[in-house]
Amino acid sequence: MYPLPVQPYPSRTLDANETSLLRRFTNTLTAAALHDYDCFANDCHGDVSEDTRHDWKLAKKQGGLAVYRDRAANASRPEDNITMVEANGRISNQEHPPPGQIQALLCIGTISGTLDDVMCGVFCPTAEDTMLKSSCIGDNVVDCCELASIVSPTPDDPWRSLSLKWAVNAGPKIIRPLVRPRDFTYVEATGVTTNIDGERVGYHIIHSVVVPDTQPIDEHSLVRGNVSLYHVYRQKSPNTVEVHVRAFWQLNGHMRSSIQTYSCVEATLAISRIRFYSRMKKLAWLRQRSRSMDSESDSSCCSLCRRWVGGCFTVEKCCSVCQNVTCRRCCASELLNNVSLLKHAVIKKRQTVCRRCLRKAEESIVMQEPKPAKRVRMFSSRALSTVSTTSLDSRDWNCSDRSRVFSSRRFEGAVTSGAA
């Protein structure tokens, strides 16, 4: 069933006021996320300590990451409505969504690689990029479309993006026969800035918003959910990146709490595999560059070890990236997915890649070296005066009052008549 054969909602061009509203809104969320991360790193030393362990229950560990569930997260409040600010300034209340338990998660730990490796994988400005990433990291996104592109990357800021998207998350395969897929309309922002200590940090913000003319598609049995996610990444050592994620999921509908928790934890932990997608993206970039270059090697011997591959007992392979001949000792099988424009689906295919290209992919940075980032401007709460609210809050970790910026504040779900 998914992905759908045609894009369900039309792309739109936002006017200057709508673009300005969304930029201010995401800048406010980004500044709050960075402040929250700084407080957690300073007050809690970047970990769930003995003093706060009674507030957080370990849900799952995978690799160097651990996901904790907030013990105090409770069901959403039925009195909270989604407020829409119309173009003429009138304020109207939408019918609130069906009640659904809020899954409040904290994911902390480390992943291998560099900050630019991680941001290369996180950076997905288009729907095709999002689908490719999902096929590689397994976050269970089965369909996606870009509703509007607001900010595009520049040579000075290659990881910067801001867009409106619609996506369908079907959940882990083991539970798909039991539950209906959830769809989300959200604003997504990525970029690199600096923290209070002057260190480069990457961020990835996803926040549900109400977009006009994007009502749930009844014929596909979708349940509209809400999500508020922020990821912060910092280079901890030469080959280690610190990960800090706060996730608030509201899946709505009638789903058992245990299944909700399982689905949300798996989606949140998918970031542990982001480096695999980064490498796949770099290999695809290298392959595109090599198409204009002639093959360097003789077809009778391996281009790396110069071993003869013309005999009946040797296996001749061709690197799918550089198109040079290689023996089986000097190559590996790598997943190089692509999106079929005809079927709007991801085609998974393992291809032969020589070790030289694998090394280039590990060492290279797609696009270009990012220049020193500028600090995100700190907007005051007045910037949200034209933005509507729906509550998705959770408690703090009992450290300092400064760490309540994200945990005790109301997560605002946004919206104007032409954008959210």
Q: Say if CB 418 and CB 402 are below 8 A apart.
A: no
The predicted pLDDT at position 92 comes to 39
DSSP 308-371: B--STTS-EEE-TTT--EEEGGGEEEEE--EEETTTTEEEP-EEEEEHHHHHHHHH--SS-PPP
Amino acid at 325: V
The full set of domains in the chain, from first to last, is: 16-280+372-407 (3.30.530.20), 292-363 (3.30.40.10)
Name the residue with tokens 């995401």.
26
- Whether residue 3 has a cis bond before it, omega within 30° of 0: yes
Which segments of the chain have a pLDDT < 50?
A: 74-99, 313, 368-420
Q: Is the pTM of this model over 0.75?
A: yes
- Confidence (pLDDT) at 46: 72
Phi-psi region of 255 (alpha: psi -120 to 50; beta: other; left: phi over 0): beta
Summarised one tens digit per residue, pLDDT across range 251-260 is 998 888 889 9
Per-residue model confidence (pLDDT) at position 88? 38
Burial 244-283 (b: 16+ CB within 10 A, else e): bbbbbbbbbbebeeebbbbbbbbbbbbbbbbbbbbbbbbb
Rg of the chain, C-alpha, whole Å: 23
pLDDT of residue 255: 87
- pLDDT (tens digit, 9 = 90+) per residue, 338-363? 776 655 678 888 888 999 999 888 88
pLDDT at 339: 72
- pLDDT at 270 (0 to 100): 94
| 3-58 pLDDT per residue, tens | 888 888 989 888 899 999 999 999 999 999 999 898 888 877 677 766 667 788 89
Q: What are φ and ψ of residue 403, in 5° steps?
A: -85, 10
For residue 381, the tally of other CB atoms under 10 A from its CB is 10
